[in-house]
Chain A
Amino acid sequence: MNHLPDDLRRLEAEAIFIFREVVAECRKPVMLYSIGKDSSVMLHLARKAFHPANLPFPLLHIDTTWKFRDMIRFRDETAECLGLDLIVHVNRAGLEQGINPIQHGSAAYTGVMKTDALKQALTAHGFDAAFGGARRDEELSRSKERVFSFRSKNHVWDPRNQRPELWNVFNCRIAPGESIRVFPLSNWTELDVWRYIEHENIRVVPLYFAARRPVVRRGGNLIMVDDARLPIGADEVVQNLAIRFRTLGCYPLTAAIESSAVTVIDIVRELETASTSEREGRLIDFDQTGSMERKKREGYF
């Protein structure tokens, strides 16, 4: 058998089971690919699940046009290198209205460029199941979500009416127009993800590793100046600091941490002594009370 520690092996097998079950039972699955570490792990697990066959579903990236440039580069390289069927979707209407995270606030911007965009793409392609990389350790409302999470025709989640999940017997049946969000990494923690990346030698976006990068301090957060669209206030100073990211998203909404971790092993070590959770760097989690639950009910991943 492979070299993995017992607990990772069990998590790996669970995720593979989930991938296969969806492909066996659903009509048209897709994998939501957000380019981050969780997506990299999901992609790796999916390839293992169906080896030696190619992935039996496409990948979908919701591009807000505000992702880090390194992420887009990594996405295209990965798709090229593994011969993936990658769909990139942008909410054109939102783009034409000029919706952006700087002027419109994170809640409105996320609603249009992420949630609406996702719903558009899922509806347009008629996907009935979408894999997502969410983990139960990330956020409180996630800890209550099932592995198979059902969405109405309008992509709405009803947390009070979830299907019981017994053993590993998943009920994948849906009515026409309904869809399922499926989370193969539900039982993983952030540290599991990094330990797995280490053991399996999985490539991730370089932004996870510390390097000197231009940043400004804003409201206690370090925001990277990834391109010229980020306005720099008169009293703000762009500094070159050794930083890395624990989580990746739209660059103006994603805070960096100061770090010297330049390898996966460094990151694992850093996490073992970390005192804050990864989502502290995600500014959108804090923009409303019960923020994530509300976004999820409306259709956000």
Chain B
Amino acid sequence: MKAISDPKVKAPSGREGGAVQRDLLRLITCGSVDDGKSTLIGRLLLDCGAVFEDRRQALQRDSKAVGTTGDAPDAALLLDGLQAEREQGITIDVGYHHFATPRRRFIVADTPGHVHYTRNMVTGASNADLAVLLVDASQDMLEQTQRHSFICALLGIRDVVLAVNKMDLVDFEESIFNGIRDAFAGFSSSLHFRSVVAIPTSAVLGDNVTRRSDRMAWYHGPTLLEQLEIVEIHADAAPQFRMPVQWVNRPDASFRGYAGTVASGELHPGDEVLIARTNVRTRIERIVSMDGDLARAGAGDAVTVLLADDIDVSRGDLLASPNKPPQIADAFACDLVWMSEAPLLPGRSYLLKCGSRTVGATITTLKYRVDVTNYAHLAARQLARNDIAYVNIATVEPIAVDPYQENRTTGGFILIDRLTNETVGAGMIRFGLNRAANIHHADFDVTKAARAQLNGQRPIIIWFTGLSGAGKSTIANLLERKLYALGKRTYLLDGDNVRQGLNRDLGFTEADRVENVRRVAETAKLFVDAGLITLVALISPFRAERRMARAIVAADEFIEIFVDTPVEICEQRDPKGLYRKARRGEFRNFTGIDSPYESPEHPDLTLDTATESAEHLADEVMQFLRRRGVLN
């Protein structure tokens, strides 16, 4: 370890010195609500001179008004920037703050401790090199600290500082510090951190933050600031070249450049590269920049490259070193952090964005959820916000990836809800399952078109959606009779009937409903392929799955019919007595009572059963099918 001088002497002003070359350390601070995180960071900023005089004065004013430290400046107020935070004394969002010493420059992500904001901590951790985990010396180690440690490890943080804070509340007692340090070592050993340095601190008093504590003479290690200055953040050894193509630069016909940021490795003109998706090799011809051509580019550089051959490359492609190419797969094993209020439902189709590539994706298997208090594996049917799980995921097209622990850019992805556009999850790939390589689509000589021709009809899915008791099965039954009378070959997939066979293993939770609809949709697709006019009568309560059902067949092979019967009328009719039972609480998750029904936004046809008879409505559908050219 290098000699450490007093930071106050060497850092009269912590702000930038223009000529000095300093490296940049990104760190995240995490801890539970009252561990004193904001105070600790505020202390670092104040002591490193990163706070201007006018803000110091504002701090003095604010401290008196809303602070918790009497007349002394409340350093936490430097950070809690949103009005709600100041009023409630908590940190809601990730805040980013800068400070510097002559040796290093720091960007610190201050993340909320409260369990509701764990997703924000994940955000901060995704870009951090090091984590400062805060523990309140006067409290037991909380579940939150274990959760945070786990997330840091999951997101690839290898270096950790354990700040055992509020030592002033336990009389600066060494044995208490040792107890917490050992407890942490106990549960974190399975997380494989490269370095863990425990430091006893008092952020309120400033002890062992930037100043060595006289009150804890028994402690001989570095102060927090010293540790942040000396910790070595190793780059991974000889990483392979990877660059996602972000944008194709085509100012005119003579220039076709591929713009992107080098994720790992290096590139030089003349280097051989692989286009991962197509497995085509070519060479880097030039690296173009506004300052002239470059002889080299490295990880983190944003470049524009010209390739030697005129080949098919577009946004979403990955340029890679041919020596160790990425995996190409459409199924992956990965760790997943769920961030949305809406639960993760296996079988539902989300958008997956990895690098510059966005594709449709589905969680195919929820292997287990992790209990963060003891890191045990628990069975799960769905995930709630802040859950962490190990899952298999399938994408609609193969993508090029690396294991996350080898490459954050090509191994990390987000999941996006297709309807709300919300970022609902973050994933870290462990490995590709190579399903794409092992299962090939077989083509047969008798085609869908040939089968349709033999049947003399246009195969199509007619999908009835609506509440239980709305009249879906009744109308579908009448419609099928009319089609049969015309000599059409049909099949009716009815929700109740399907549940007695194919879907007998499914219940009525949201996750099971999603899977129920997925199986029926896939079956209907096969029937269309077989040349049948396929009627589906299924509550199918969620827009996302109805959209999926439509998306897996051709655009003119799907008609969505909304049997629009208000819940009051359905309940009045109650043909199966289900509403009465649901009202009596005999079973749960009944659509319209305690489980949601999302009405179609743009159905092809809406049937109003309140005013028209089922017979009349079936005729209405027949007319619609004629207008659409399904029937002549």
- A residues whose Cβ falls under 8 Å from a Cβ of B: 1-2, 5-7, 9-10, 12-13, 16-17, 20-21, 23-24, 47-54, 136-137, 139-144, 159-160, 162-169, 171, 173-175, 186-187, 189, 191-192, 195, 198, 268-269, 271-277, 280, 289-290, 293
Size category of the binding interface on chain B: 35 or more
A272 touches B15 (CB 8 A): yes
Q: Which stretch, B418-426, B438-446, B623-631, touches the partner chain A?
A: B418-426
Nearest neighbor of A292 in chain B, beta-carbon distance:
B81
Q: Contact between A276 and B123 (Cβ–Cβ < 8 Å)?
A: no
CA distance A166 to B408 in the complex (A): 10
Q: Mark B54-85, 1 if CB is under 8 A from A, else 0.
A: 11000000000000000000000001111110
Q: Contacts A17-B302, A169-B414; is A48 near B290 (CB within 8 Å)?
A: yes
| Interchain CB contact under 8 A, B412 and A166 | yes
Given A51-B290, A144-B93, A163-B423, decide whether A21 and B54 contact each other with a Cβ distance below 8 A: no
List of A residues within 8 angstroms of B83 by Cβ:
289-290, 293
CA–CA, A178 and B412, complex, Å:
27
In the assembled complex, the Cα of A21 lies from the Cα of B120 at a distance in Å of 22
Is the beta-carbon distance between B301 and A1 smaller than 8 angstroms? yes
Beyond the given pairs A159-B93, A276-B53, 20 more chain A to chain B contacts, judged by CB atoms under 8 angstroms and listed by A's residue number, are A1-B294, A21-B356, A23-B247, A24-B356, A51-B304, A52-B257, A139-B81, A140-B81, A142-B81, A159-B84, A160-B84, A163-B422, A164-B122, A168-B127, A168-B261, A171-B421, A187-B96, A275-B52, A276-B52, A293-B83
Within 8 Å CB of A160, what residues of B? 84, 92-93
Q: How far is the CA of A54 from the CA of B356 in the complex (A)?
A: 22
Is A13's CB under 8 angstroms from B247's CB? no
Cross-chain contact B81 with A12 (CB below 8 angstroms)? no
Q: Which residues 1-23 in B have Cβ within 8 Å of A in the complex?
A: 13, 15-18, 21-23
Which of A162, A269, A271 has the most chain B CB within a 10 Å cutoff? A162
A141: min CB distance to chain B, Å: 5
Most B CB contacts (10 A, CB to CB) among A136, A142, A186, A269 go to A136
Query: Given A6-B21, A6-B24, A160-B92, A167 and B15 touching (CB < 8 A)?
Result: no
Report, nearest first, the 8 A-B pairs whose CB atoms are least far apart: A140-B81, A16-B302, A53-B251, A275-B53, A277-B52, A166-B126, A51-B290, A13-B302
For B97-120 the 0/1 string (1 means CB < 8 A from A) is 110000001010000000000011
Contacts known (A160-B84, A167-B126); A276 close to B356, Cβ less than 8 A:
no
> A-facing mask of B375-415, CB < 8 A → 1, else 0?
00000000000000000000000000000000011001110
Residues of B within 8 A of A (CB): 13, 15-18, 21-24, 52-55, 79-84, 92-98, 105, 107, 119-120, 122-123, 126-127, 246-247, 249-251, 255, 257, 259-261, 288-291, 294, 296-298, 300-302, 304, 315, 339, 351, 353-356, 408-409, 412-414, 416, 421-423, 426
Q: Quick check: B416 and A171 within 8 Å, CB to CB? A: yes
Q: Knowing A10-B300, A276-B54 touch, does A189 contact B123 (C-beta < 8 A)?
A: no
Cα distance, A139 to B97, chains bound together (Å): 11
- Nearest chain-A residue to B155 (Cβ)? A166
> How far, in angstroms, from A261 to B60 measured CA to CA in the complex?
31
Closest chain B CB from A82 CB (angstroms)? 12
Quote the shortest CB–CB distance from A272 to chain B (angstroms).
Answer: 6
Q: In this complex, which of B13, B291, B298, B412 has the most chain A Cβ atoms within 10 angstroms of its Cβ? A: B291
For B56, the closest partner residue in chain A by CB is: A275
Are B259 and A49 touching (Cβ within 8 A)? yes
Contact of A169 among B54, B296, B353 (CB under 8 A): B353
Instruction: Give the distance to chain A from B50, nearest Cβ to Cβ, in Å.
Output: 9
Q: B15 to A280, Cβ gap below 8 A?
A: no
Chain B residues with CB below 8 A from A166, complex form? 122-123, 126-127, 412, 414, 423, 426
Smallest CB-CB separation from A5: which chain B residue? B21
Interchain CB contact under 8 A, A164 and B301? no
Q: What's the least CB distance linking B131 to chain A, in Å?
A: 15
A167-B408 contact, Cβ under 8 Å, with A13-B300, A52-B255, A159-B93: yes
- Smallest CB separation, B259 vs chain A (Å): 6
Cβ–Cβ < 8 Å partners of B24 in chain A: 6-7, 10
Least distance between A282 CB and chain B CB atoms (Å): 11
Q: Are B302 and A144 in contact (CB under 8 A)?
A: no
16 A-B interface contacts by CB (under 8 A): A1-B296, A5-B21, A20-B259, A24-B246, A51-B304, A52-B290, A53-B249, A140-B82, A159-B84, A164-B119, A164-B120, A166-B126, A171-B416, A173-B421, A269-B18, A276-B53
Contacts of A54 in B (CB 8 A): 251
Enumerate chain B residues within 8 angstroms of A12, measured Cβ to Cβ.
Answer: 302
Are A144 and B300 closer than 8 Å at their CB atoms? Answer: no
Most chain A Cβ neighbours within 10 Å, of B247, B296, B409: B247
Interfacial chain B residues near A175, Cβ < 8 Å: 421
Q: Is the CB of A52 within 8 A of B251?
A: yes
A48 and B303 CA atoms in complex are apart in Å by: 9
Which of A23, A24, A143, A192 lies in contact with B81, CB distance below 8 A?
Answer: A143
Least CB distance from A157 to B in Å reads 11
Interface contact A53-B250, CB-CB below 8 Å: yes
By beta carbon, the residue of chain B nearest A163 is B423
Query: Taking the nearest CB of chain B, how far is it from the CB of A258, in angstroms?
Result: 16
Whether the pair A174, B421 counts as a contact (CB closer than 8 A) is yes
B400 to chain A minimum Cβ distance, whole angstroms, is 15
Question: Across the two chains, which residue of chain B brings its CB closest to A265?
Answer: B18
Compute how far the CA of A52 lies from the CA of B306 in the bound complex, rounded to whole angstroms.
12
Q: A140-B81, A166-B122, A166-B426 are in contact. Are A48 and B54 (CB under 8 A)?
A: no
Q: Looking across the interface, which residue of chain B has its beta carbon closest to that of A178?
A: B421
A20 touches B353 (CB 8 A): no
**In whole angstroms, what is the CA distance A45 to B414 when docked?**
27
A274 touches B289 (CB 8 A): no
Given A20-B259, A187-B107, are A144 and B82 neighbors across the interface (CB < 8 Å)? yes
CA distance A2 to B294 in the complex (A): 8
Chain A residues lying within 8 Å of B16, measured Cβ to Cβ, are 189, 191-192, 195, 271-272
- Complex interface: chain A residues within 8 A of B107 (CB): 187
A171 touches B21 (CB 8 A): no
Nearest residue in B to A12 (C-beta to C-beta)? Answer: B302
User: Taking the nearest CB of chain A, how far is it from the CB of B28, in angstroms?
Assistant: 12
Closest to A278 in B: B52
When the two chains form their complex, are residues A273 and B123 in contact, meaning their CB atoms are under 8 A apart?
no
Residues of B with C-beta under 8 A to A174: 421
Quote the shortest CB–CB distance from A229 to chain B (angstroms).
29
User: Inside 8 A of B408's CB, which chain A residues have their CB?
Assistant: 167
CA separation between A173 and B96, bound complex, in Å?
24
Nearest CB on A from B421, distance (A): 4
Contact B15 A144 (CB under 8 A): no
Chain B min CB distance to A5 (Å): 5
- Select from chain A the residue with minimum beta-carbon distance to B125: A166
